[in-house]
A and B are shown apart, each in its own frame.
Chain A
């Protein structure tokens, strides 16, 4: 899955660099990505 994530991330970053707006599925991906790398905050 790691390679797929890197590829999709590149695609999303490209969109952002070009000033394009993100599609709903891009935000779903970013939500999923943040969940993968997430450590819950606080106590």
Chain B
């Protein structure tokens, strides 16, 4: 059946998010060419990208904070400007309004724009955040709530928009400009996410000294010029400056995009230029630090690698205070240089070869991942080195369970290779899953009891209230369970958001919805339990070794 209609996407976040939104919409239009797709974005982020994303959207409304505030002296004048902005014809006639920025400003804006359907979060008349669609609920709980989101943001955005076909981007052809020419963007928007220039100078020195054929083009914005100068003034680089071209601050984004096309590979921290390099179809390697979640934000496309530290606190939250940056130290320049060398000169990252050339001391503190499609075309992370951390093993388990639960898709991922310690922790988490399942059964029972009570000829309101209190107790116990099993947070938080957004106009309908949510959560628990068991069974040696320890 032909799908028509007008979709209006609200994307108020920065450049990288706009590029990812554009990638999603390109694929959506390929599958549904008759859909009309509009965009609300901030002028400061949209304008530099207009050359790339301008044609993707049928209409664009730009938010310019300075214009709206005016001279900033009068609230009434500000309110008038806001009302004029909201009365634009652009905001009428939208069939579906979609929030892909999930920030406070976009939540309010979503609440103010009329639309037949709203996807993602929006604010209601009691100032409460509402989110009715399950992938919007997924972002609101699991993506915002912790480091265990097992999906790429682009895949999540596609799911919010209801796009089933995940194979469009696989037709993309790799672009190679000049052989062994590296486009390097050694900066990012936050200190946590980037190395100091001196460390990059060490990488460049080692790379250029040991690989005669490699050339480097440095990229960055005007605000990064001084950092680039700091990097290039390093005395060790003097002999190699003829193989380094400095483009920092010299181009706008369009110029940078065109200049990057003369390169063969891109290396950088997590930043918009990584996403831009992917739009140029360059092979890319991201050095992930600080708050960066490798799979969630990695540039989306073929030939993508990510190197990340195994630091216990990685990835952290933007608000986490940190002055030591252990994760920066855990990625050694020796190891990263060897990785970049293989990536640029051999067009691959071969872990076996790396082990020959790099000390285990350096390699053991990092993870190398190749990003690419799984058997179902969703973006997935393939570990090139050794054993999984608990977080990585759990993310794969959650991924398989959530995909089955939300999309009814079975994904064949390799079972995680785990150590004895991780197996013990998984066994512990499995018992938490059992307890969570039991709480779901209680939630179902009390929801059902309310429905039965209200179906009686003479329902007792006090009894309905008692059962309602019991349901509240169940939810409180789920929260308490997280103290002992914090890694179960995705399985609790996702359903907590669902329970805050129950469907129904009366107590019976709401209780029916409540029953269904507890039932769903119970099914997820069963899936998680089985997947943990399968993981433990597949690591039979580890399992037997634990059993022996137990018997001894």
Residues of A within 8 A of B (CB): 1, 4-5, 8, 12, 16, 19, 21-22, 24-25, 27-32, 34-36, 38, 40-43
Candidate in B45, B74, B86, B127 with the most chain A CB atoms within 10 angstroms: B127
B396 at the interface (CB under 8 A from A): no
Give me 8 A-to-B residue pairs in the complex whose CB atoms sit less than 8 angstroms apart, sorted by A's number: A1-B73, A4-B75, A30-B123, A31-B109, A32-B82, A35-B65, A40-B45, A43-B272
Main secondary structure of the interface of A (DSSP, over half): helix
Q: Which residues of B contact A25 (CB under 8 A)?
A: 79
Q: Which residues of A contact B45 (CB under 8 A)?
A: 40
Q: Which residues of B contact A5 (CB under 8 A)?
A: 75
Closest to B71 in A: A1
Q: How far is the CB of A8 from chain B (nearest CB, A)?
A: 6
Count A-B contacts at CB 8 Å. 84
Residues of B within 8 A of A (CB): 12-17, 42, 45, 63, 65, 68-69, 72-76, 78-79, 82-83, 86, 101, 103-105, 107-109, 111-112, 123, 125-127, 188-189, 270-272, 297
Tell which of B68, B76, B86, B127 touches A22, judged by Cβ atoms closer than 8 Å.
Answer: B127
Q: Which residues of A contact B42 (CB under 8 A)?
A: 40
Q: How far is the CB of A30 from chain B (nearest CB, A)?
A: 5
How many angstroms between the C-alpha atoms of A41 and B319 in the bound complex?
12
Interchain residue pairs A-B with the least CB separation, the first 7? A31-B108, A4-B75, A43-B16, A21-B125, A42-B13, A34-B104, A34-B105
Q: Which residues of A contact B86 (CB under 8 A)?
A: 28
With A1-B73, A27-B123 already in contact, the answer to whether A40 and B108 are too (CB < 8 A) is: no
Q: Which residues of B contact A40 (CB under 8 A)?
A: 12-14, 42, 45, 103
Q: How far is the CB of B360 from chain A (nearest CB, A)?
A: 33
How many angstroms between the C-alpha atoms of A29 and B109 in the bound complex?
11
Cβ of A32 and Cβ of B78 under 8 Å apart?
Answer: yes
Cβ of A16 and Cβ of B79 under 8 Å apart?
Answer: no
How many angstroms between the C-alpha atoms of A42 and B272 in the bound complex?
9
How many angstroms between the C-alpha atoms of A8 and B14 in the bound complex?
30
With A28-B86, A31-B108 already in contact, the answer to whether A43 and B126 are too (CB < 8 A) is: no
How many angstroms between the C-alpha atoms of A31 and B107 in the bound complex?
8
How many angstroms between the C-alpha atoms of A21 and B16 in the bound complex?
37
Cβ of A36 and Cβ of B69 under 8 Å apart?
Answer: yes
Cβ of A28 and Cβ of B82 under 8 Å apart?
Answer: yes
Q: Which residues of A contact B107 (CB under 8 A)?
A: 34
Closest to B271 in A: A43
Q: How far is the CB of A40 from chain B (nearest CB, A)?
A: 5
Q: Which residues of A contact B74 (CB under 8 A)?
A: 1, 4
Tell which of B101, B105, B108, B188 touches A43, judged by Cβ atoms closer than 8 Å.
Answer: B188
Closest to A26 in B: B127
Closest to A41 in B: B13
Tell which of A19, A24, A29, A42 touches B17, judged by Cβ atoms closer than 8 Å.
Answer: A42
Q: How far is the CB of A41 from chain B (nearest CB, A)?
A: 5
How many angstroms between the C-alpha atoms of A24 and B308 in the bound complex?
46
How many angstroms between the C-alpha atoms of A5 and B381 in the bound complex?
47
Q: Which residues of A contact B73 (CB under 8 A)?
A: 1
How many angstroms between the C-alpha atoms of A23 and B69 in the bound complex?
21
Q: How far is the CB of A16 from chain B (nearest CB, A)?
A: 6
Candidate in A8, A24, A30 with the most chain B CB atoms within 10 angstroms: A30
Q: Which residues of A contact B123 (CB under 8 A)?
A: 27, 30
Q: Which residues of B contact A22 (CB under 8 A)?
A: 125-127
Q: How far is the CB of A28 from chain B (nearest CB, A)?
A: 5
Q: How far is the CB of B444 from chain A (nearest CB, A)?
A: 31
Cβ of B78 and Cβ of A1 under 8 Å apart?
Answer: yes
Q: Which residues of B contact A1 (CB under 8 A)?
A: 72-75, 78
Q: Which residues of B contact A34 (CB under 8 A)?
A: 104-105, 107-108
Cβ of B79 and Cβ of A28 under 8 Å apart?
Answer: yes
How many angstroms between the C-alpha atoms of A28 and B14 in the bound complex?
23
Candidate in A8, A16, A36, A43 with the most chain B CB atoms within 10 angstroms: A43
Known pairs A28-B112, A31-B82, A38-B65. 8 more at Cβ < 8 A?
Answer: A22-B125, A24-B112, A27-B125, A27-B127, A30-B123, A38-B105, A40-B14, A41-B101
